Amino acid sequence: SQQGEEDPQALSIQEGENATMNCSYKTSINNLQWYRQNSGRGLVHLILIRSNEREKHSGRLRVTLDTSKKSSSLLITASRAADTASYFCATDPARKLIFGTGTRLQVFP
């Protein structure tokens, strides 16, 4: 079974709006990562947050982590059409990277 579940499964917004995706996981973690995947292509690493961190920023990305609730969120601010992609959270229990189900983000110009 998958370690992470993401919500929502799909999200459609207009350019300039913010997009928020949530990820829940099941076991304790050392870190949580977010990856982006453009249609049918490989994944691109976006950001990593460690278990002792609560929030991290990278450009227009903001990630939060709540280990007590076993959840994380990814916020993309001022979205662009180029942000259209699927976004996955990933955790690493026992050195096997386990991905969530993904959120499909569609940003309309």
Partner 1 sequence: KAGVTQTPRYLIKTRGQQVTLSCSPISGHRSVSWYQQTPGQGLQFLFEYFSETQRNKGNFPGRFSGRQFSNSRSEMNVSTLELGDSALYLCASSPRPQDEKLFFGSGTQLSVL
For binding to partner 1 (CB under 8 A), which residues are involved? 2, 31, 33, 35, 40-45, 48, 88, 92, 94-102
Minimum CB separation from partner 1 for residue 48, in Å? 6
Structure tokens at 76: 């993309």
Minimum CB separation from partner 1 for residue 50, in Å?
9
Give min distance, CB of 7 to partner 1, in A: 14
Q: Which is nearer to partner 1, 43 or 61 (CB)?
A: 43
CA separation for the pair 66, 96 (Å, rounded):
21
Q: Which is nearer to partner 1, 6 or 83 (CB)?
A: 6
Residues 104 and 7: beta-carbon distance below 8 Å: no
Alpha carbons 68 and 82: distance in angstroms, whole number: 34
Distance CA 78, CA 95 (A): 34
Q: Which is nearer to partner 1, 17 or 53 (CB)?
A: 53
